[in-house]
Chain A
Amino acid sequence: MADKPKVAFYWCASCGGCEEAVVDLAEGILDVIAAVDIVFWPVALDFKVRDVKELPDESITVSFINGAVRLSEQEEMARLLRRKSKFVIAFGSCSHMGGVPGLANLWDRASIFAWYYHDAPSVAPGNVREPREHVRVPEGTLELPAFWDTVKTLDQVIDVDYYLPGCPPTPKLLADAVGVLLRGDLPPKGSVLAGTRALCHECPLNESKPEKLLLKDIRRVHLTKVDPEKCLLAQGLLCLGPVTRGGCEALCVKGNMPCTGCFGPTDEVRDQGAKGIAYVSSILDFDEEADIERALANVPDPVGTFYRYSLPRAYLMRTRKVMPHA
C-alpha cells in the first residue's frame, strides 16, 4: 500500500464534468484504485488539504487538476499540489486552455455584476445589493472570496508537465495517461497526451472528405439538413476537425454535429483562434471582396467559433504575459 504511487485529483473553477469523466471510467476505476493510492479526491473521498500539506514535497506521483483559475484560493491549491507532486497534469479544456468559462474574459467583474445583480430582467425592480468581500450583518462579519476580472489557464499560474485535453477528456485517454505515467515511459515535458494528428484522421467521415476542399458556401448547422454519411465540412458546416487535435474519436461528428475544437489545436499551433481563421480562409473559394463578405456573413461569431475553449490562452485578451505552452 505504502509503495503504491500516489495520485491526486483536484478541481479549480470547473463544471464538475471532468470529475464525472473520472467516474465514467466505470469498472475501470477499480483498476486505477488497485494500481495507485488516491491520496486526494475531494468529490469522492475525504478531503485532506492538511494531509496534503503534511506530505513530503514531490511525494505525489501525479496530480490531475481540472478547471480554470479564477480565485486566489484556487491558485494557492494549485501551487500546493505543484510542490507536492512530481507531475502535474492539466486535465480538461478549462485547465488546459481556459475552456468555455474562459469566454468570460470578454467581460470583466463590473460588467458581469451589472447584468447579474441589476440589469437582468428577472432582478426585482430597485434591487441595489451587490455581493461584497466583507459584509457586516447584525450578528458579525461575513467574508466572500474576491471575484476576479480574468479567467486563467492552469499553466498561467503554475508549471504544468502534461496536458490532457478535452471538454471533458475521455475516460480512455485518462486511463492511458495513468498507464503511461505509472510505467514511467514519459513523453517529453509539455506534451499533450492525446493524438498528434488532426481529428479528421480518426473521423469515420474522412473518406468522404475531398482531397482539396473548396467551399462556395458556409452554412449554419441549424439551417442545414445534415447528411450523416458525408464529411460535414464538405457540406459547408464549420467542422473544426482539420485543425483540432485527435483523440476523442470524433464524438461530436458521430452525433452528426461538427467538431467545435475542445481538444485544442495540434502541436505546432499556439493560438487556436488564429489557426481556425487561417484554415477557413484557405478553403473559401472566393476572391472578390463582396463574395468573401457574403460567405463570411455565416461566420458571425469568430471568437465563439474559434476560441470556444481557449480564449484565456489566446495571444491577446489580457494574456500578454502567458507562460510558454507546449
Chain B
Amino acid sequence: MPSQVVINPITRLEGHGKVTIFLDDKGEVSRAYLQIPELRGFENFLVGRQAEDAPQITSRICGVCPTAHHTAATKALDDLYKVDPPPTAKMIREMLYSVFMLEDHALHLFFLGGPDFVVGPTAPKAERNVVGVIQKAGIEIGKQVIAMRKDLRGILTELGGKVIHPVYGLPGGVAKPVTADMQVRFKEIAARGLKFASFCEKLFEDVVLGNPAYVKAIMSEGYTHRTYYMGLVDEKNRENFYDGQIRVVNPSGSEVARFPAQEYLDHIAEHSEPWTYVKFPFLKKVGWKGFVDGPDSGVYSVAPMARLNVCDDMATPQAAELYEKYFETLGGKPVHHTLANHWARVIEIVYAAERFNGLVSDARITDPDIRTIPTETPKEGVGVVEAPRGTLIHHYKSDDRGILTSANLIVATQHNSARIAMSVDKAARAVIHKGVVDDGILNQVEMAFRAYDPCHACATHSLPGRMPLLVTILGPDGTLLREIRRDG
C-alpha cells in the first residue's frame, strides 16, 4: 500500500489547488497530481448577455490580469462586428496593454516567483518574500517599485476608467482618447519605465545568472520538458503581446503551424480528467497521448519562455539583445527548462517598457479619431492576445442583435495545465526519495509550477496568487504520520 503526501495550498483551504503525491512502498514517488478544484461557468453566463458587455464581464475572470481578458474580448468583438478600429485606437490598446504587461510581470518578479531566486530557493522561508527581495536590492528600490507600480496603474485608471476591471474596450475602438497633456505625462513615466525595466533585468542577471548554483538549477533535468510551444508573432515572426498570428514550434524549435486566431479550433482540442476541474488543451494534429513530452505528444506550453521559443526576434532593440544572450546562455533554441520562464519574463519586462515608450512617443497617439462605429450584422468573432501567462483566446457567437449565443474561452494557464501537471510530477520524482520530504524539497516542487506564474483564476476562474503549502503524509492505513507546513 503506497503512502500519500498531500501538498495542500492552504491559502486555498477551500481547495483552489493542491498537490497530492503518492509514494510507493520504497518511499519513491509513483505519481504526483496537481488538482485545480474550481470552476465558475463564465462561458455559460455570457450567453444571453449583450456582446458589448463581454469585455467588462470577462475581466472578472481575473482581477490580476483583467486587462488581458478585457482586450481579448474587445478584439473578439472587432471580429464579431467585422469592424476595423482606427490606427490610433489600436495604438492606445497596445500601449495600455504594454503598460499592463510591464506592471504585471514586475509584480511577479518582486512578489511571486522572484523571491525564490533573488533571495534563494533554500533561504529561510521568512525571507522568501517581497520583503526579502527588497532587503537584497535595497530599501530605496522598494520605494521605487511601489512608485513605479502606482504610476503605471495610474495610466490604466486614467484611460481605462478603472485599473481593476477597465472599461475602455469597444468593438471598433476605445472609449477615451489620449490628450496632448496626457502624452507629456505618460512619456515621463515611460522614460522611468525603461530605466526600471533595465534595473529589473540587471537585478535578475546579477543575482541569478551570477550564481552558478541557480544556473545549474535552471538547466537541471528535473525542471525540463521537451514540449511544443505556442505564442503570438507579428508579420516578421517577432514576439507580440497584442496582435498577430499564433505560431507553434515543435520540441526541436521548427515551426509546425502559424494561423490566425479564427482557426484555433483546427489546431487546439481539450482533454479532461475526472480528478481536476481544469481542462487540458493539446495540439489536435499531434493528439493527446497523456502527460508526456516529446514530439509525439500534443502537450504544448505557453507563457514567456514559450513566447521566446516561437519567435525569431524581438521587435525592440534592448529586448532583441537580451533575446540573443538568453539563448546563448541556455544552450540554444528552444529552451525547455521551465525555470527559464523567470528570465524570459524579465526580458519581456524590457520589451514591454520599450514598446510602451515607442507608442506613447508616437505623434499619432493623440489623434482624436479612436472609434469606428460598427455597421455589420454581428455573427461570430475570435480574439486573441498574449496574457502575461500565455495565449488567451475568446470566441463568441451572437444573434443579429448582438446578443451572445455561445462563448468559448481558452485561457493562458489552461494551455499550460498539462505541462504544469507534468512539471510538478517530475520535480517531485527528482527531489523526493526514500520517503524523505522536507520543507526545502517541497518548495522545489512548488517552484516547478510557480515558474509558470500559474493563474488559476484564469485557468478555472478560481484564484491567482502565491500558494503556501500544507503537506500531509499519510501512512498506508490512512493515518496521519506527519504534517509539514510551508508558508508563503
Which residues of A pack against B, CB within 8 Å? 11-21, 24, 26-27, 42-49, 70-71, 73-74, 77, 99-101, 103-104, 106-107, 111-112, 115-117, 120-125, 127, 129-132, 135, 137-140, 142, 144-145, 147, 167-168, 220-226, 228, 251-257, 260, 297, 300-301, 303-305, 308
Most central of B37, B63, B66 by chain A CB within 10 Å: B63
Q: Which residues of B contact A46 (CB under 8 A)?
A: 468, 487-488
Is B160 an interface residue, CB under 8 A from the partner?
A: yes
Complex: chain A residue closest to B9, CB-CB: A47
Q: A17-B66, A106-B45, A140-B22 are in contact. Are A47 and B488 (CB under 8 A)?
A: yes
**B479 near A: Cβ within 8 Å?**
no
In whole angstroms, how far apart are the Cα atoms of A135 and B15 in the complex?
Answer: 16
Judge whether A130 and B41 touch: CB under 8 Å: no
Beta-carbon contact of A304 and B50 below 8 Å = yes
Of the candidates B33, B43, B61, B130, the one whose C-beta lies within 8 Å of that of A142 is B33
Q: Is the CB of A27 within 8 A of B146?
A: yes
Q: A140-B4, A142-B35 are in contact. Are A42 and B488 (CB under 8 A)?
A: yes
> Which residue on B lies nearest to A169, using beta carbons?
B164
CB contact list, B102-156 vs A, under 8 A: 111, 130, 143, 146, 149-150, 153
Contacts A131-B272, A228-B176, A255-B175 given; does A103 touch B45 at CB 8 Å: yes
Q: Does B381 contact A (CB under 8 A)?
A: no
* B487 nearest CB across to chain A (Å): 4
Cβ–Cβ < 8 Å partners of B20 in chain A: 142
Which residues on the A side are within 8 Å of B172 (C-beta)?
222
B462: chain A residues at CB < 8 Å are 13
Alpha-carbon distance between A70 and B15 when the two chains are bound, in angstroms: 12
A43 touches B272 (CB 8 A): no
Interface size class of B (residues with CB under 8 A): 35 or more
CA distance A115 to B279 in the complex (A): 12
> Min CB distance, A273 to chain B, in Å?
14
Given A131-B277, A147-B39, A252-B161, decide whether A123 and B270 contact each other with a Cβ distance below 8 A.
yes
**Interface contact B268-A122, CB-CB below 8 Å:** yes
Query: Which one of B30, B153, B410 lies within 8 Å of A122 (CB-CB)?
Result: B410
20 CB contacts below 8 A, A to B, read A11-B463, A12-B14, A14-B463, A17-B62, A17-B64, A19-B63, A20-B164, A43-B11, A71-B38, A73-B13, A116-B39, A122-B264, A129-B273, A139-B30, A142-B33, A144-B15, A168-B164, A221-B170, A222-B172, A301-B48
Q: Taking the complex as formed, is B190 at the interface, i.e. its CB lies under 8 A from any CB of chain A?
A: no
Nearest-neighbour CB distance to chain B for A43, whole angstroms, equals 5
Return chain A residues, CB-CB under 8 Å to B41. 101, 104, 107, 112, 116
The chain B residue sitting closest to A304, CB to CB, is B49
In order of increasing CB-CB distance, the 5 nearest A-B pairs are: A17-B63, A255-B161, A42-B11, A139-B22, A46-B487
A222 vs chain B, min Cβ distance (A): 4
Query: With contacts A26-B150, A77-B13 known, is A167 near B165, CB below 8 A?
Result: yes
Q: Identify 16 new A-B residue pairs, CB closer than 8 A, beyond the known A107-B44, A129-B274.
A: A15-B63, A16-B464, A17-B165, A21-B63, A42-B12, A71-B15, A106-B48, A111-B44, A121-B408, A122-B269, A122-B281, A124-B269, A129-B273, A144-B277, A228-B176, A254-B161
Q: Bound state CA distance, A256 and B158, in angstroms?
A: 11
Q: Are B170 and A137 neighbours in the complex by a CB distance under 8 Å?
A: no
Partner of A220 from B2, B12, B52 at Cβ < 8 Å: B52
